[in-house]
Amino acid sequence: MTLLITLITGVMLLAAIAVVVLRGLLAAVAALAAVSLALSVLFVLLRAPDVALAEAAVGAGLSGVLLALTLRRVGLWPGGPAREDEQ
């Protein structure tokens, strides 16, 4: 139990560091989703299944998609369509 929690906490912190260190914004967003996923596993281990479900659905799912879509909208999606009419 302690070993598992230590392992997942380590993965989570590594992903959090990756959010700051990675220069590509899309990669940073993916790392943030990884943080949320590790966090929801931690919530399961802490016997909080409700919170884990919310974190997985909202944190790892919708937040990541929303951030990625915003990146596309402001033209920061690498290789994506730079199709902002305001520019």
User: How far is it, in rounded angstroms, from Cα 4 to Cα 9?
Assistant: 8
Nearer to another protein, 79 or 81 (CB): 81
| DSSP per position, 3-67 | HHHHHHHHHHHHHHHHHHH-SSHHHHHHHHHHHHHHHHHHHHHTT-HHHHHHIIIIIIIIIHHHH
Q: Which residues between 18 and 57 bind another protein (CB under 8 A)?
A: 19-20, 25, 28-29, 32, 35-36, 39, 42-43, 46-55, 57
Instruction: Let me know the angle formed at the C-alpha of 11 by 7 and 17, rounded to the nearest 5 degrees.
Output: 145
Select the residue interacting with another protein from 41, 63, 78, 79 (CB under 8 A).
63
79 binds another protein (CB under 8 A): no
Binding site for another protein (CB under 8 A): 1-2, 5-6, 9, 12-13, 16-17, 19-20, 25, 28-29, 32, 35-36, 39, 42-43, 46-55, 57-59, 61-63, 65-67, 69-74, 76, 81, 83-87
